[in-house]
Structure 1
Amino acid sequence: MTDIRVEEKRLLLGDNEENSYKSLGFPVNEEDDQEVPTTHIETAKYISRWYICVIFSLFGLMQGAIWNTWSPINESAACALGLTSSDIELLANWGPIMFLIFMPIVMWEMDRKGLRLPSVISSFAVALGTGLRCLPLAPNVLKYFIHAGQLLNGIAGCCVMAAPPMLSNSWFPPEERVTATSITSLLNYFGTGFGYIIGPAFVKQPSANYSSNDSVFCHDLHERESIRHGISNLMYFEFGVSTLIFVSLLAYFPSHPPKPPSLSAGTKRMDFLAGIKGLRHQQTFLIVAFTFSLVVGGASGWIGAFNVILEPLGVSQDEGANIGFFMSLCGCAVGLVMGWLADKFKGHIKLLLLVLFVVGFFSYLYFINMSLGWIRVPGFEKSKAGIWTVCIIIGITINAAVPLGMEMGADAAYPTSEATSASIIVWLFNLFSFILLFVLQFSDPSISNYLMLSFTGVSIPLMMFFAKEPRNRIRIDEGEVTNQLDNTVET
C-alpha cells in the first residue's frame, strides 16, 4: 500500500521567508536564494522502500565482511600464504586509501546521478575483486591479486559508507529516517563483525606454536594445504554472494521513488560546489564531521588490526574473532535502538552522541589499564571476562554512533545534499582510519590504544561546547502539519 499526501509549501524562499537558505544559516548569493512559485508536493510512502533498504544493507554487509577478511585469519594466512602482520595491516588499509582517493569522484557522481549508478558500479567492483582472489595461482602471485581485490573493495566502500543518509532521505518519511540510516549504515559495520565469524568458519587456526609475525610458511605441508583449501572455499563463498547482490542491484535499484517521502526530500538542494563552499561556515557541521571521524574513523582502523592488538593480551585468533563478532553484533543492536529513539524523540542526537563518546573514553582507559596493570585490584586486572566486556562496550560506542553522526551531519549541512555532507564526513572518517593503520605499520600495536583514548578525549569537549543540535530538515518537515491540504490518499 502506498500513502500519498498532497502538500503545499514555499520552497527555498527569499530572505523574508522562514525557510530561505539564509534563514537556515547558509551564506549564499542573492540570486541563489530568490523566491520561487508556490509548489504542490505529493509525498508518498512506498512499500518498495524496504526492499531498497534491505538489498543495500546486504551489499554493505558483504563489503564490510570482505574488507575484514584477513585480520580474523591472520595466523592462518601467514601459515598458508606467507602473509605477514604488515601484509594484513596493509590489506586493511587499502579501504581508507582508496576512499581518500576516489571519494570526491563518487561524491560528485551521487550528487549528479543519484544512488543507482554508483551503487551498481560499486557492487560490480566488489564482485570483481572477490573473483580475482579465486584465481588458481601460486601464493607468491596470488598475493598481488588479493591486494587488487581489496583495492576494488575499498573503492566500493565510498558508496557503501556515504549513501545511507541520502537513501533514507530519498525513500523514507521523517519518522523513519534515522532508523533507515541506522539499518543501512550499521549492516556495513556488522559485516566487519561477520568477517570474524565466516573467516574462522571456513579456515582453521594453525598450530598453537605458530606466530603471525613469522615471514615464512608453515613447516607442516599437510597443515598448510588444508588451511589453503579453507581459504579458497572462503574466497568462493564471498565471490558467490557478492555476485548475487550485484545482479539484484542491477535488476532493480532506482535512485528515488516517483514521489518524495517528505517535504524536505522534495526541496531543491544547493548546487554541488556552492554546497561545499557553504559548509565551510557551518560550525556545527564541521565539529560533527571532525569529532565523529576522529572517534569512529580511528576506531575503524583499530578494529582493522584487532587481532594484532589483542595478541599481547594472550588472546588467540579464534577468540579474537569471537570477540570481534560480538562487538559488532551488540554495537549494531544498540545502534538500531539509538536510531529508533532518535526518530521518536527528535532533537536529542547530540546528547546521545556525547553519552557514547564519554562511555568510549572510559572504556579505552580501562582497556589500557588491563594491558599495563596500572591498577591491580579485582575487576581492573587483566582477565578474559574483562577483555570481553570492555571490547563489547567499545563496539557499542563505535557502532551506535555511526547513524547518529551521519544524521546529525546531514541536518547541520542542509540544504547541502545528504550525499555531499555524508561523503565529506566519511572521507575524514577514512583519513583518521588510514592514519591509525599507517602508524601501526611502524610502531607497537599498543600505541593505537593511546591514540583512541586521545581521539575520544578531544572530541567530548568539542561536541559539548561548540556544536548545537541542528534542526534544519526538521523545521521543513514540521511545516507539513500546518501546510497539509488534508487530502491524503491511500492507494
Structure 2
Amino acid sequence: MQSQDVFKWYKRRWAFLVGLSIFQFFAGISFASYGQISNFYVQFFNASHSQVDWITNARNISAIFITIPLVWLIFKRKIGSRNLILIMAGSSTLGLLLVTLSLIDRSLFGLIVMGQILCGLAETIGVAMTSIFAVLWFPDNQIGTAIAINSLGIAVGDGTGYVLPPFLVQPFNKTRTYGENLTSQELTSGKRQLRYMYGSFLGISAFVTILFAIFITDKPPTPPTFAQDKKTDVQQEPRTFKNFIIHAKLLFSNWSYIITCITIGLVMQMVLVENMMMSEIIVDMNITSNISSERLSGYIMSMFSLGDLIGVILGGKVVDHFKNYKVLAMSGIAAVFLSTVGIILSVMLKSTIGMYICNGLFGVFVGSSFVVLLEMATQLTYPIDETLINAWMIGIQTGFALLLGVLGRSAFNIWGSLGVLSFQCAGIFVGLVFCCLVSPKNRRLEVERNQINIQTPLLASNN
C-alpha cells in the first residue's frame, strides 16, 4: 500500500498519444497511397510495376540497417524515448518533403524512394513506440487502450491512402480501361493534386514535430505502475559491450520472443502483398464494376482499414480486461486466416460484395491481433527495457516484410492473382502455427502480483 504513493498519471499523456497517432497516420499514408494508383506512377516515372513496388517496399529498408546501431544506443542510454520520438517526427517530415518534391518532375523517381525510406524509418520507430509509450505513461488498465489509440492512426492513414489518391488521380475520360496510357494533361493534373496532398501532410508533420521538440520528455517524472517503479531499481548494471552481448544473447535465446516477432511480421506484412496488387488482381480476374479498377481497389482496401480501426479498438479493450494473451493471439490469427480464405473464394467467384466483407473482417482481426501481440512481446521479456525489445522486434519483423513484398510480386508474375492470394493465406497460416509455440507466461503481471519475484532474472530459452 505504501508503494502506491509513488504512482501518478499525467493528463498530458493523452496529448502526447494523439501526437504519436498523427505520425502513425503518416506511416499509414506511406504504406497505402501507391498500390491503388500504381499505373499512374508507372507512366509518370516511366517505370515497371516491379519498380513501382519499391516505392512501397522501400519503407522496410531503413529498419534493417538501423536496428543494430539503434539498439546499441538505446542500451548505452545515449538515446531515450524523447530522442526516438524526435527522430521519428523528423524522419516523417523530411520523408514527406522528399515525396512532395519528387512529384515536380518525372526524373525524380530516386527521390520518392529516398522519401519512402525515411518514412519507413519513422514508421519503424513509431510502431516500436506504440507499446513503449503505453507502458511508460499509462496504468495497466489503460495500456491496451493506449496501444489501440496509437495504432488507430495507422488504420486511418491506410484508409486515406487507399481512397484519396484514386480520387485525386483520375482520367478525364471515364471509359478509359486499366493500363491505357494517361494523357500528358492527366499526368500533370495528377501530380499537381498529389503534391497538394503530400504538401498538406508535410505542414502538419512539421508543426507536430516542433511541439514534440518543445514538450516531450523521456518518461513521466513519477512512474504509473509498481512494475515500472521497480524495474528502474533492477536495471543499474554497467552499460558495457559485454553486458550488451549478454542482454542480446538472453533476448535471442528467448524463443517465445523471437517467434512473436516473426508472427507479427507475418500477420502485419501479409497485408502488404494485397495492398500493392489489388488493382492488378481486379483486372487480372476480370472483376467488373461501374467504377474504375483503381477506385474499386481503393474502396475494397479501405474496408480493410475500417476493419483495422475497429479491430485495434476491440483489441485494446480486450487487452485491458483479459490477460490470457496467447489464447487471444491464437484466436485472432486463426480468424485472420479464415478471412484470407474468404478473400480467395470471393476473387474466384468474382464477388465484389464478398471482397468487401472479407477484407473488412481481415482488417478487424489483424488490428486486434496486432494489439495483443505487441503486449505479449513486452510481457515475455520483462524487465528488459521496452525500448530495447521493440527496436529488436521491428528489425526482425521488417526483414520478413521486405522479403514478403518481393516474393508476393514474384508469386503474382508466376501464378497470377490466385497465386499471390494463396501466398498471402499460407503466410498467415504459418504465423498461426508459430503463435501456438509461444509461451503463455505474463512476467510483468506476475511481478505486480508477487513482489518476491522483482529480482527474477531475464528470460532464458526454456521460458
* TM-score interval, normalised by the smaller of the two chains: 0.7 to 0.9
- Residue in 1 that maps onto 2:337: 361
Contact 2:104 2:191 (C-alpha < 8 Å) held by counterparts: no
What SS does the corresponding residue of 2:374 show, helix, strand or coil?
helix
Could you tell me which amino acid in structure 2 is paired with residue 299 of structure 1? V
Q: How do 1:136-175 and structure 2 match up within 5 A?
A: 139-175=105-141
* Map of 1:405 onto structure 2: 373
Which string of whole-angstrom CA distances, capped at 9 and with x for unpartnered residues, describes residues 105-144 of structure 1? 3334445222111211221122112222333876332222
What SS does the aligned partner of 1:141 have? coil
Q: Which has the larger radius of gyration?
A: 1
Matched with 1:467 is 438
Separation in 1, partners of 2:308, 2:103: 38
Residues 49, 178 of structure 1: alpha-carbon distance in 2 compared, 3 angstrom cutoff: same
Matches within 5 A, 1:106-185: 106-111=70-75, 112=77, 113-135=79-101, 139-185=105-151
The question of 1:209 aligning with 2:185 is answered: no
The verdict on how the C-alpha distance between 1:163 and 1:138 changes in structure 2, with shifts beyond 3 A counting, is closer
Give the counterpart letter for 2:31 in structure 1.
W
Distance 1:107 1:202 in 2: 40
Look up the SS of the partner of 2:222 in the other structure.
coil
Task: Give the share of equivalent positions with the same residue, in percent.
Answer: 20
The one-letter code matched in structure 2 to 1:281 is S
Please say if residues 296 and 398 of structure 1, whose CA atoms lie closer than 8 Å, have aligned partners that are also in contact. Answer: yes
1:190 maps onto 2:190 in alignment: no
Counterparts in 2 of 1:50 and 1:452: CA distance versus 1, 3 Å:
same
Aligned Cα RMSD in Å? 2.7
User: Which is further off, 384-393 or 76-85?
Assistant: 76-85
Q: Deviations over 1:210-249 (max 9, x none)?
A: 544x7xx62x233232222212212312222221221222
Alignment CA distance shift 1:358-1:64 (3 Å): same
More deviation in 155-164 or 99-108?
Answer: 99-108
Match of 1:282 among 232, 254, 258: 254
| Residues in 1 aligned to 2:308 and 2:57: alpha-carbon distance in whole angstroms | 22
The answer to which of 451-460 and 52-61 deviates more is 451-460
TM-score (normalised: structure 1): 0.81
Q: Secondary structure of 1:362's partner?
A: helix
Q: List alignment gaps of at least 5 residues for structure 1.
A: 9-40, 373-380, 484-491
More helix by share: 2
Q: The residue matched to 1:360 in structure 2 has which SS?
A: helix
Rounded Cα–Cα distance in structure 2 between residues aligned with 1:235 and 1:387: 29
1:85 and 1:308 in contact (8 A); partners too:
no
Is 1:7 aligned with 2:11? no
Q: Go from structure 1 to structure 2 and tell me whether the alpha carbon gap of 1:54 and 1:274 turns closer, same or farther (over 3 Å shift).
A: farther
Instruction: Work out the CA distance in 2 between the residues paired with 1:365 and 1:457.
Output: 10
How many angstroms apart in 2 are the aligned matches of 1:233 and 1:462?
A: 44
1:251 aligns with 2:214: yes
Partner of 2:347: 371
1:477 alignment partner, one of 437, 448, 456:
448
CA distance 1:149–1:204, shift in 2 (3 Å):
same
1:53 is the counterpart of 2:17: yes
Change (3 A) 1:409 1:310: farther
Partner of 1:63: 27
CA contact (8 A) 1:75 1:206 kept: no
The offset of 1:400, in angstroms, is 1.7
> 2: CA distance between counterparts of 1:83 and 1:68?
19
Q: Distance in 2 between matches of 1:146 and 1:183?
A: 29
Letter of the aligned partner of 2:313 in structure 1? L
Task: Report what 1:18 is aligned to.
Answer: none
Cα gap change, 1:186/1:425 in structure 2, threshold over 3 Å: closer, same or farther? Answer: farther
Partners in 2 of 1:462 and 1:158 — Cα distance?
A: 23
Counterpart-to-counterpart distance in 2, 1:97 and 1:311: 30
Is the Cα–Cα contact under 8 Å of residues 266 and 400 in structure 2 kept in the other structure?
Answer: yes
Does the residue aligned with 1:44 lie in a helix, a strand or coil? coil
Deviation for aligned residue 1:6: 5.0
- C-alpha contact (below 8 Å) 1:406/1:425 kept by paired residues: no
Query: Equivalent residue for 2:313?
Result: 336
Residue 168 of structure 1 deviates from its aligned partner by: 0.7
CA distance in 2, matches of 1:179, 1:429: 23
Q: Give the AA of the match of 2:11.
A: I
Within 1, Cα distance between the matches of 2:57 and 2:284?
21
- Aligned counterparts of 2:270 and 2:396: Cα–Cα separation in 1: 10
Inter-partner Cα distance in structure 2 for 1:429 and 1:411: 18
1:265 aligns with 2:228: yes
What is the aligned residue count? 433
> Is the partner of 2:383 in helix, strand or coil?
coil
Matched residue, 1:300:
272
Corresponding position of 1:89: 53
- 1:455 has 2:427 as partner: yes
TM-score (norm 2): 0.85
Report the CA distance between 1:159 and its aligned residue: 0.7
Deviations 1:236-283 (A, max 9, x none): 122222212212221211111100000111213656543321123323
Change (3 A) 1:455 1:442: closer
Contact persistence 2:311–2:366 (CA under 8 A):
no
Matched letter for residue 230 of structure 1: Q
Question: Which residue pairs with 2:403 in the alignment?
Answer: 435
DSSP-derived class of the 2:330 partner: helix
Q: Is the 8 A contact 1:298 1:429 kept in 2?
A: no
Q: CA deviation at 1:326?
A: 2.4
Tell me the secondary structure at the aligned position of residue 218 of structure 2: coil
- Could you say which residue in structure 2 is the equivalent of 1:423? 391
Instruction: Report if aligned partners of 1:79, 1:206 keep a CA contact under 8 Å in 2.
Output: no
User: 1:280 and 1:457, CA in 2 relative to 1: closer, same or farther beyond 3 A?
Assistant: same
Offset, 1:61: 1.1
What's the CA shift for 1:286?
2.7
- Letter in structure 1 aligned against 2:96: T
Deviation at 1:312, TM superposition (A): 2.4
The code of the aligned residue for 1:354 comes to M
Mapping of 1:304-323 within 5 angstroms? 304-313=276-285, 314=287, 316-323=293-300
